[in-house]
Amino acid sequence: MNIKEKIFLDEEEIPKEWYNIQADMPSLPEPPLNPMTKEPAKPEDFAPIFPMEIVRQEMTTERWIPIPEEVRDVYRLWRPTPLYRAKRLEERLKTPARIYYKWEGVSPPGSHKPNTAVAQAYYNMKAGVERLATETGAGQWGSALSFGAMLFGLKATVYMVGASYDQKPYRRIMMETWDGEVYRSPSKNTEYGRKVLAEDPNTSGSLGMAISEAVEDAATHDNVNYAIGSVLNHVVLHQTVVGLEAKKAFEMIDEYPDFICGNVGGGSNFSGATFPFVADKLTGKRPDLKILACEPMSCPTLTKGLYLYDYGDTAGMAPILMMYTLGHTFIPPPIHAGGLRYHGDSPLLCKLVKDGYIDAAAYHQTEVFKAAKLFAETEGHIIAPESAHEVKAVIDEALRCKEEGKEEVIFFNNSGHGHFDLGAYDVFLQGKLVDYEYPVELVKQALENLPKIE
């Protein structure tokens, strides 16, 4: 077996097509609903906020979607991303397991997010759109969209969740360097934002609130569209470049994972990295493959949410989706993994969890940062708090392999660097990091506000 510490693909091996898992799923999620009529959404329902090619990708069940050469040309700035073997981590843990990770922190914005930001900016440019409005949690998506929009001559307006806006000023500066316009959400720039601030001037915000602001902005201005960084099918589709590259890299060294994990906020990086492998489980090629979605204990959507129809945003303007949800009005505690503070998840991911193809686990942020610290000590990379969730799972699995004497191959998607999260690391290193318990009563209250579907 040819084991290397770094596996690189050539630029020519950047995927030429995105993989659509809907083609291989035994059954699909219930369709999204129009938030006004509560009837199954039609393509024209999405037309006010998305270009038609994005709408087509959202609804198609074709297995392979060609990647435009203009998008692949931008991908070449950082793709293909390397597949690393975490040998020093293995040695520290004294595990017989072989640990590999895909390193998405090499992109200009520092995460996996531009894989879809570039594609969405391209399709909007082709449709003649002038400006994109979006939300962002930790700032990685807002950074990516500002980057992608700039490359294709579009303007970007970003509504950044208040807690992250305060915690991560350098993300805001990054967006503004790429000509992004950034508002602390909820903001006074939208009718919905003004309403929320009037009710609670000190709110820390949420992704659901920021989505509401961005959707309102797009829907009330001509030649402005909405762009979303996670959850919806077309976003998951674009992220499959990660998993497709990983599969090709594993083929080069004659390896295949036994255990795969990733962090989940809305589900884009996890789904993008795992779905090309989940396909092998769905088709019976790898029925024993273990796949784990990792989320925060303070916002445990997959582990403690209900599988129901719910709004994708707080104001009820976004499509109603069948997913695991904590309630669209739920405001998670201000944990440092801001990208994981979302009340729901990708309908495709949720359906695969519901049907038993994917498992889920939740972790407290103190144990997550402890895992991130160990990873930095052994592998050198200071990773995003979001990414550290799967590192915790990887360490647990590797130690289990040690106890049982199993030589598993473990793979995870290291979705971004933590260079702008050093304030969070500082709080952890000082021993001041707070673990938030699952807010049972707040979730119970939020679930009372679910849309009434006949």
Residue 21 lies in a domain: no
Q: Which of 53, 164, 183 is CA-nearest to residue 119? A: 53
Which residues of the chain carry a pLDDT beneath 50? 1
Does one domain contain both 203 and 266? no
Residue 3 lies in a domain: no
Task: List C-alpha distances in Å: 389 to 103, 293, 367, 386.
Answer: 15, 9, 9, 6
Query: For the chain, what is the domain count?
Result: 2
CA dihedral 292, 295, 301, 305 (to 10 degrees): 70
Residue 351 lies in a domain: yes
Per-residue pLDDT tens over the stretch 212-242 = 999 999 989 999 999 999 999 999 999 999 9
Q: Which of 261, 295, 304 is CA-nearest to residue 386? A: 295
Domain of residue 206, CATH code? 3.40.50.1100
Does one domain contain both 103 and 200? no
pLDDT value of residue 240 = 98
Sign, CA dihedral 112-64-289-341, equals: positive
Does one domain contain both 270 and 247? yes
pLDDT value of residue 1 = 44
Q: Which of 309, 375, 312, 343 is CA-nearest to residue 88? A: 375
Residue 20 lies in a domain: no
Q: State the Cα–Cα distance between residues 193 and 206, nearest whole angstrom.
A: 11
Does one domain contain both 177 and 106? no
Residue 23 lies in a domain: no
Per-residue pLDDT tens over the stretch 34-50 = 999 999 999 999 988 89
Does one domain contain both 294 and 410? yes
Does one domain contain both 121 and 104? no
Q: State the Cα–Cα distance between residues 192 and 198, nearest whole angstrom.
A: 10
Does one domain contain both 144 and 278? no
Among the candidates 228, 254, 277, a domain finishes at: 228
| Strand pairing report for 359-363 and 290-296 | parallel
Residues 6+ apart with CB under 8 A from 194: 186, 188
Residue 102 lies in a domain: yes
Does one domain contain both 199 and 280? no
Does one domain contain both 405 and 371? yes
Does one domain contain both 329 and 205? no
Can you give the residue range of the structural domain that contains 285? 78-110+240-447
Q: State the Cα–Cα distance between residues 423 and 69, nearest whole angstrom.
A: 39
Q: Which of 15, 10, 8 is CA-nearest to residue 241? A: 15
Does one domain contain both 289 and 390? yes
State the burial class of residue 105 (Cβ atoms within 10 Å of its Cβ: 0-12, 13-18, 19+): buried
- Tracing tokens 């700032």 back to the chain, one arrives at 139
Residue 71 lies in a domain: no
Does one domain contain both 324 and 441? yes
Per-residue pLDDT tens over the stretch 411-438 = 999 999 999 999 999 999 999 998 987 7
Q: State the Cα–Cα distance between residues 234 and 256, nearest whole angstrom.
A: 27
Among the candidates 197, 228, 259, a domain finishes at: 228
Among the candidates 176, 200, 228, a domain finishes at: 228
Structure tokens at 237: 């589709």
Residue 398 lies in a domain: yes
